Amino acid sequence: MSEKEPINGKKPKKQTENDQTILKQSQDIQSDIENLTDRLMNFTFDQKRIEELLSEVSIQPNIEKALFLAKKQRVDVVYHAAALEDNPFTLPEVQTLLEGITVGGHKLSDESQVLNLDKAWKHTLDLIRDQRFELEKQTICEIHKLVAKEEALEWGQFRSGGVTISGTQYRPPEASKLDQIFEKGCENLQQIENPILKAMCYFLMGALNQFFYDGNKRTSRITANAMLISKGYPVFNILAKDKLAFNKTMIEFYDTQEGTKALEFFIPYYLEMNKGLGFGY
């Protein structure tokens, strides 16, 4: 059987071995870019191990109680969040400052950091109370605007340039990719049903991708708390005394972008911290 006559009487140009090599390289590069983007947006973790970790946890959500306790824990939350940033204010000094009394012997920048955290925490609880909290860019930027005012290079908006993280060679993604990463990351988070796992994954996502010039862990932890409290779950707080373990956990996470060990640290920590508060476990 003879071949069909080519259109216009011209035979198609045969693909050379060099053309095939170039095409293969192009496909490999595109695949690598897609894999890298997925990794930045959605870090890996052993889903089976984490599900087993949460399988025996039975929490009875109560939004009214969670919000009440979050207000009562305001001083503790602010103090420990500041202490993790090497802020020298003591717990009694933070309490005094939040009562409106100036505490001497400290830099204005340290005082501002404490007051900014307090404003961000109160703002977030107001959003939850009024049922206005949404996991979206505008809300996160509002929280960051309060957290990092006059501390970060820019506040209330995603960073416009590159950043580094002390203690790790990991480099956060380019600023031009942040909107896409945030949007896709939040889409992926919505597929996680367990509120604890979803909140912890958001915290890790925010810390990993460094959406802002500074204040990323603080903003991400407050956002994770908003996700928990709005579903009737208690506060997620890291104590100052556990700073070393916290920092080691985060550095390993940055180095590997593998979240299993971080989740195995944060989830039991969270559950232990809130044991006996009347949430059914």
Query: How sure is the predictor about 197, in pLDDT bands with cuts at 50, 70 and 90?
Result: very high
Would you say residue 126 lies in a domain?
A: yes
* For helices 91-98 and 108-129, angle between their N-to-C axes, nearest 10 degrees: 70
Whether 268 is covered by a domain: the verdict is: yes
Could you tell me the pTM of the whole model? 0.85
Domain of residue 239, residue span:
53-273
| 17 found inside a domain | no
Q: Is position 13 within any domain?
A: no
Cα 118 from Cα 126, distance rounded (Å):
12
Q: Is 12 inside any structural domain?
A: no
In a domain, 23, yes or no: no
pLDDT tens, 100-130? 999 999 999 999 999 999 999 999 999 999 9
> What CA–CA distances, in Å, run from 67 to 74, 155, 195, 243?
11, 27, 16, 26
Q: What pLDDT was estimated at residue 115?
A: 98
Note whether residue 59 is domain-resident. Answer: yes
CATH of the domain at 218: 1.10.3290.10
Provide the number of structural domains found in the chain. 1
Residue 34 in domain = no
The predicted-structure confidence for 19-72, as pLDDT tens digits, reads as follows 554 444 444 333 333 343 344 445 999 989 999 999 988 899 999 999 999 999
